[in-house]
Structure 1
Amino acid sequence: MAAAAPSPPHPFTIPNFRAYWLSRFAGTIAMTAMAIVIGWQVYSIARETMGIKEAAFMLGMIGAAQFVPLFLLTPIVGLVADTIDRRWIVRGTVTLMVCVTAGLGLLTYFDALSLPALFGAAVLTGINRAFSGPAYSALAPNLVPRESLPTAIAVSSIAWQVGSIAGPSVGGLLFAIHPDVAYATITALMLVALAMIFLIGKVPQPPVQPDHRPLARIAEGFAYVRHNRLVLATITLDLFAVLLAGATALLPVFARDILHVGSQGLGLLAAGMGIGAASTAVFFSIRPMKANVGLKMLIAVVVFGLAILTFGLSRWFWLSLGALIVAGGADMVSVYVRQSLIQLHTPDAMRGRVSAVSQLTISASNELGEAESGLLASLLGPVGAVVFGGVGAIVVTLIWSRLFPELRLAKSFDPPEMLSVPPDHGVAQP
C-alpha cells in the first residue's frame, strides 16, 4: 500500500511568508484607516459649501483621482514587477505612503488641510497602488511551494480582510478622539509594514527575457488574459459587478446624512464588509474550496448584489451593517476563486504582468466605481445610486454565466495541461 503524500507546509511555517503577511496586515490597517479618514474629511469640507448630492460627487472624485494614475501606469508596472526585485518595489511604495500619511498629518495638525491637498494625496495613493499591487501579488507565490499556494492566498486574504475590519474602525475611532492621533497611528503602522518587508530574504524571480522588446512583453500580459477565457471571465465579472455595486464610496454620506451615526458609526460601517470577508477567509484557510469553484463564484456575486441592494434600502443601522457583512463574505468568495485561478493558471514569468491587468480591473471596479457612485449619487441621490448598483451586479452575473460557460463549469482550481495561450506570444507553459 503506497504511503500517503506528505501534506504541503503551512505558509506560516515559512519565515519569508510570515514577514510578508505581517507587512501586508499592518499596511492594510494603515491604508484602510487613511481611506476612511480622507473620505470623512473630503465630505465634511465639501459639505461646508455644498449640498448632499454635490458633496457626494466630490467624494466619488477621490476614487477617480486614484484611478487615473493607476490606469496610465498599468501598461508598465507589470513589466517592472517581472523585471525588478519585487521586494524593492514594495519597499519603495511603502516608503511613499509613509511620506503621504505623515504629510497629511502635518497639514491636519496645522489646520491647513484642503480639498486640493486631499486630492493630491489620492493621486499619490493611486501611483503607489499601481506599483505595489502587481509586486505584492507576484511576490507571494515566490514565498511558498506551489501546493501551498491556495492556502497562502486564503491566509494572505485574512491579513487584508482583518486589516479591513480593524482599519476603518481604528481610523474612525481615533479620528473621533483627535485627527492628529489618527494620522500618527497610521504613519506608525506604515513604518511597521516597511520594516517587515525589509525582513524578507532573497526569493527566486524568473530571469528577464532580453530577447523580447519591452512593448511586446507588456502586450503578452494582455494577450494572455484575453486568450485564457477562464481567467478573463473571473477578472471581468469582478470588474463589472463591483463597478456597479460599489457602495463603500458613499459610506460617509450614509453615516452622516441618512443613518445619522457620525464618524464612529462610519468606522463600523466601513468595517462591515471586512468582517464578513475575514470570516470567510478564515474558513477557506482551514477548509480550502475544492469543488464547483466557478458556480460558487457566480452564486457569491448574486448574493453580493442582493446584500448591496438591502444596504441601499435600509434605514436601520444594524440592518445596514448586517447587509455589508454579508456583502463582504460573498465578495471574499469571489476574490478567493479569482485569485486562485489567476495565480495557478499563470506561469511565474508572467505573474507580474497578469497581476497588473487584474489590478487594473480591480481598481476600475473600486476607484472608478467610486467615481461612478459619486456621479450616480449626484443624479439619483445616494440611495438610488446604491440600489441601481445592486440590481446591476445581479444582472451582470446572469449575463456572464451565459457568455462564459467555462466559469460555470469550472470544477476545481487545477489548470489544464495546456493553457489557452497563442503560440506566437512565446509564453512558457507551466
Structure 2
Amino acid sequence: MESQQRKPSPFEVLSIKEFRFYIVQRLFYTMALRMVTTVVGWHMYQLTKSPFALGLIGLSEVIPAVGLALYAGHYIDKNDKRTVLLRCIVSYLSLACCLVFLSTGFSEAHIHKNIILSLFYVIIFFTGVVRAFAGPTSNAIVAQIVPREKLPGAITMGQSTYLTASILGHASAGFFIAYVGSAITLSIVCLYVSIASIAVALIKPKPIVSLDVNKRTWESVKEGLRYVFKTKELLGAMSLDLFAVLFGGAVALIPVFASDILKVGPIGFGWLNAATDIGSVASILTMTIFPLKGKQGKILLFAVAGFGLCIITFGLSQVFWLSFAALLVSGTLDGISVVVRGTILQLKTPDELRGRVSSVSSMFISSSNELGLFESGVAAKLLGVVPSVIFGGCMTLGVVIFTWFKAPSLRKMEY
C-alpha cells in the first residue's frame, strides 16, 4: 500500500536512457540559442547604437516563426519527430557558422557595414524558420520518450534544464564576448549545437501516432486550432502569456541599459540577461520540492501581475543591483507560469495532436518573445528607452486585470 501511494521523484525519469540524450540536447541547444541572442544583440547594438535595430532582430525571427507555425505542427505530426528535430538542429548549425563568418575581423574589413547588418537579419530570419519546427518538435517528442505517469517529472526536469541552459548561455556569452570576442563566442555556439545534434542522433526514430496520415494540410491545421480554442485552460494561459510577454519584453533593451544607463559592459550585460533565468530556475526547483497544490489559475494571474511590476522597477532603476534584482524576481514569477502552462499543455493534449498544439503554443508563447522584442524597439524609438519599459510593465498589469474579469475559467483553473 505504501509503495502504491509513494509519489514518484521527478529525478526517476533520468533512468530512461533516451530521455538523458534528450536532456543533453536540450542543455546544449538552449545554451547555443541563448548565446546567439546575447552575442547578436550586443554586436548589433555596438554596430548601430540603435534600440530600433534590436527590435528588428526580433521581427526578423518572429515573421517565419509565426508564419510557419501552423504548417509546422501539421508537418511534425505527420513525420518522425526525432528526424525532424535532428534536421532542425543541423540546419541551425549551418546558420551559426554563417554568423561566425560575419562577426570576424575579415568580414568587418572587407564587407560594408550595411551589408553585414542586412545579412545578420537574413540569417536571423532563417533561424526563425528553424525555430518554427524545432521548438514544437522538442516539446512533442517528450511524450514518446517518457511514459505518461512520468510526464510531470519530465516536464519539470526539461524546464529546469532549459532555464539552467539559458542562464549558462546568457552569462557565459557575456564573459566570452569580453575576453575572446564575438567570433570565437559564436564558434563555441557551433560546438554546442554539434553536441546537441549527436545527442538527438542517439535517440531512436519514433513512430507516427497521427490517426489519419492522409488528412489534408488545412484540415489538419484546423483540427489543432479547434482543440486549442475549445480547451479554455490552454487558450486562456496562452493568451495571457502572449500579451504579458508582448508588452513586458524589456529584455530586448537590456543591451541599451547595460551600455548606456547602467554602464556595466558586456559582463554585466550577460548577467542582466541571465537574471530572469536564474529566478526561473529557483522557482521551478522550489516547486519541484513543494509543488502547487491548487488554485493554479489565480497563482498564474498573480505571478504575471508581479512580473509587470518588476518590469516597471527595472525601467526606473539606474543601479545595477536593483536592475538585476528586478529581473531576478521577474524570472521567479515567470517560472511559475512556465510550470503551469507546460503541465497543462502536456497533460491535456492527445498524442496525435501534440505537434499541432505545440505549434499553436509556440505562436502564442515563444513567438511573443520576438514580437515583444520588436514592440520594445518601436516603443523605445517613439517614447524613449525608459518610458517604453515602464509603459510595457503598465500594459502587462492591464492585461492581467482584463483577464481576471473576462476569463473566469482561467482564474478558477486547477489541475
What SS does structure 1 have at the residue aligned with 2:414? coil
Deviation at 1:208, TM superposition (A): 4.9
Give the Cα–Cα distance (whole angstroms) in 1 for the partners of residues 368 and 64 of structure 2. Answer: 15
> Which residue among 77, 83, 88 is the counterpart of 1:82?
77
Q: Which residue of 2 aligns with 1:284?
A: 287
Give the Cα–Cα distance (whole angstroms) in 2 for the partners of residues 410 and 23 of structure 1. Answer: 33
Query: Superposed, which structure 2 residues align to 1:2-17 within 5 Å?
Result: 4-5=4-5, 7-8=7-8, 10-17=12-19
Give the Cα–Cα distance (whole angstroms) in 2 for the partners of residues 287 and 135 of structure 1. Answer: 29
> Which residue among 322, 337, 340 is the counterpart of 1:337?
340
Give the Cα–Cα distance (whole angstroms) in 2 for the partners of residues 152 and 3 of structure 1. Answer: 21
Residues 175 and 267 in structure 2, CA contact (< 8 A), matched pair in contact too: yes
Give the Cα–Cα distance (whole angstroms) in 1 for the partners of residues 384 and 152 of structure 2. Answer: 41
Q: Normalized against structure 1, the TM-score is what? A: 0.91
Deviation at 1:211, TM superposition (A): 5.1
Give the Cα–Cα distance (whole angstroms) in 2 for the partners of residues 397 and 225 of structure 1. Answer: 21
Q: Which residue of 1 aligns with 2:40?
A: 38
CA RMSD, Structure 1 to Structure 2 (Å)? 1.5
Q: Which residue of 1 aligns with 2:111?
A: none
Whether 1:220 aligns to 2:215 is no
Superposed CA deviations along residues 67-108 of structure 1, whole A, max 9, x for unmatched, are 111122112100111111111111111111111111211222
Residues 255 and 261 in structure 1, CA contact (< 8 A), matched pair in contact too: yes
Q: Which residue of 1 aligns with 2:112?
A: none
Q: Normalized against structure 2, the TM-score is what? A: 0.94
Question: Identity across aligned pairs (percent)?
Answer: 37
Residues 60 and 121 in structure 2, CA contact (< 8 A), matched pair in contact too: yes
Deviation at 1:5, TM superposition (A): 4.1
Q: Which residue of 2 aligns with 1:275?
A: 278
Residues 74 and 355 in structure 2, CA contact (< 8 A), matched pair in contact too: yes
Superposed CA deviations along residues 342-384 of structure 1, whole A, max 9, x for unmatched, are 2111111111101100101123420011100000000111111
Whether 1:256 aligns to 2:256 is no
Give the Cα–Cα distance (whole angstroms) in 2 for the partners of residues 75 and 377 of structure 1. Answer: 31
Please list every run of 5 or more consecutive structure 1 residues that lacks an aligned counterpart in the other structure: 48-54, 413-430
Write 1 or 2 for the structure with the bigger share of helix.
2
Whether 1:238 aligns to 2:233 is no
Q: Which amino acid aligns with 1:219?
A: K
Give the Cα–Cα distance (whole angstroms) in 1 for the partners of residues 17 and 178 of structure 2. Answer: 37
Q: Which residue of 2 aligns with 1:425?
A: none
- 208 and 3 in structure 1: CA distance in 2 versus 1, 3 angstrom threshold: closer
> Which residue among 135, 140, 144 is the counterpart of 1:138?
140
Q: Which residue of 2 aligns with 1:314?
A: 317
Residues 262 and 320 in structure 2, CA contact (< 8 A), matched pair in contact too: yes
Whether 1:59 aligns to 2:54 is yes
Deviation at 1:250, TM superposition (A): 0.5
Q: Which amino acid aligns with 2:186?
A: Y
Comparing 348-357 with 401-410, greater Cα deviation is found at 401-410
Comparing 9-18 with 225-234, greater Cα deviation is found at 9-18
Superposed CA deviations along residues 26-53 of structure 1, whole A, max 9, x for unmatched, are 1111110111000011111112xxxxxx
Give the Cα–Cα distance (whole angstroms) in 2 for the partners of residues 282 and 22 of structure 1. Answer: 19
Give the Cα–Cα distance (whole angstroms) in 2 for the partners of residues 246 and 147 of structure 1. Answer: 35
- 4 and 125 in structure 1: CA distance in 2 versus 1, 3 angstrom threshold: same
Residues 81 and 206 in structure 2, CA contact (< 8 A), matched pair in contact too: no
